A = this chain, B = another copy of it.
C-alpha cells in the first residue's frame, strides 16, 4: 500500500529523533512491501526563523493532505524566558492541534521490566504499570478566551467545555478500555469546578453504553498522589486538557525516561504522532537523544493506518533493542549507542 506522511521535525532534537522513526518506517515498508513517501515542512522556532510564522500555511496544508503527521518537538530557549513574546513556537503546535481537529491525545505509559532500575520509584510500586491517558486536546482553558485589561493588571483565562466536546473523546476512551482491562478513571476537580461537574455528568451517562467497563472518579489532587503511590491501579485515564498535561507528564517519570513515551493525537479526519518529550535543546546535534519515543510514535502511526502486524513488528524490535541494552545514555550511562545507532539497530532488527 501507499501512504503519504507529513514530517514536521521541528526544533532541538526533533530532527534527529524523527530521522530514526523515518528510518524504521522505511524498513517496515521494505519488509512488508508498502510505500511511504515522506514530505517535510517547518514548524515551531525554526518556522519562525524561516517565515515569521510558527505554523506556515504550507505546513498546515501539507498536514491536511497527508495520511498522517509525524511530529518531532518544538521549543527554543530564546523564547522560554519571554513567554509573552507575540510570536512563539508553541503557538504553532496549539494551532495545528486545533486546525486538524486533534481532540484526542493518547499517551500510553508502561514500565519496561528491563528498565525498572531507571525509575525514580521503587520497583514494587511500579510493577505491572500499564495504562493509557486520554487527554482532551482542543478545548478547556488552553483555548478559552484570554483577557488582559488595558493597564495590564488583571488577566483571565476561560475554561469552557461543551457536552459534545466531552462526548466524542469519552467514546474513544471507553472503546479503548473495553479492549483493555475494562476500567476507566475520570480525573477531574468536580468538588470545585463547574466544567468538571459537566465532565462527570456526561461521562457517567456515556458509561451506560459500555456496561462492561467499570468507571471511577478521582479528584486531580488525589490523582497526582495515586500516580506515584500506586500507578498499576490505572487502566484508561480520561481527563480534560490542562489536567491531562500535568498528569501525563507526571506519569512519564514512572518508566525511567521520558525518552520512551510516544503519543498519538487524533481527530475525525487527521492524526499526528509525536514523542511526549520536548525539544531538549542542550542535546541538539550531540547524537545522544533517545529516539525510542519517536519510533514508538511511528508504531502508533502504523496502528492508525490499520497496519497492525507492521506496528507489532516495530514494537517488538524496540522491545528487543531495550532488552539487548541497545539504548542511548539516558537509559544506560555507559552506552556506546547514540541516537543514530539505536535507530539503525532497530531498523535492522526488523
A168 at the interface (CB under 8 A from B): no
Q: Which residue of B lies closest to A93 (CB)?
A: B191
Residue among B161, B217, B246 making CB contact with A220, cutoff 8 Å: B246
Are A155 and B258 in contact, with the CB atoms below 8 A?
no
Q: Which B residues are CB-close (under 8 A) to A312? A: none
A252 an interface residue at 8 Å Cβ cutoff? yes
| Nearest CB on B from A331, distance (A) | 14
A246 contacts across to B, CB distance below 8 A: 220-221, 224, 243, 246
**With an 8 A cutoff between CB atoms, is A311 at the interface?**
no
Does A177 have its Cβ within 8 Å of any Cβ on chain B? no
Bound-state Cα–Cα, A81 to B142, Å: 28
| Contact residues of A between 110 and 129, Cβ < 8 Å to B | 119-122, 125
Min distance, Cβ A29 to any Cβ of chain B, angstroms: 35
Residue pair A84, B190 in contact (C-beta under 8 Å): yes
* Docked CA distance A196–B245 (Å): 15
A225 contacts the other chain (CB 8 A): yes
Chain A window 167-201, contacts with chain B (Cβ cutoff 8 Å), 1 for yes, 0 for no: 00000000000000000000001111111111011
Q: Which residue of B lies closest to A154 (CB)?
A: B162
Instruction: Determine if B158 and A162 form an interchain contact, defined as CB atoms under 8 angstroms apart.
Output: no
Shortest Cβ distance from residue A122 to the other chain B in the assembled complex, whole angstroms: 6
Is A159 among interface residues, defined by CB-CB distance under 8 A? yes
> Known contacts A153-B163, A155-B161, A157-B193; is A258 also within 8 Å of B121 by CB?
no
Q: Does A133 contact B (CB under 8 A)?
A: no
In the complex, what distance in Å separates the CA atom of A120 from the CA atom of B220? 19
User: How far is B82's CA from A190's CA once the two chains are assembled, in angstroms?
Assistant: 9
Given A245-B221, A249-B225: A83 touches B194 (CB 8 Å cut-off): no
Q: Residues of B contacting A163 with CB < 8 Å?
A: 152-154
Looking at the complex, which of A16-24, A143-151, A206-214, A282-290 is the stretch in contact with chain B?
A143-151
Residue contact A224 to B225, C-beta cutoff 8 Å: no
A229 to B243, CA, bound (A): 19
Residues of B within 8 A of A155 (CB): 160-161, 194-195, 197-198
Is A156's CB under 8 angstroms from B160's CB? Answer: yes
Output the least CB separation between A80 and chain B (Å).
8
Kindly state whether residue A90 has any CB partner on chain B within 8 Å.
yes
Q: Are A193 and B228 in touch, CB under 8 angstroms?
A: no
Q: How far is the CB of A325 from chain B (nearest CB, A)?
A: 21
Residue on B nearest A119 in the bound complex, by CB: B122
Is the beta-carbon distance between A120 and B228 smaller than 8 angstroms? yes
Closest 7 CB pairs of A and B: A83-B190, A224-B250, A155-B198, A146-B194, A221-B249, A156-B160, A153-B163
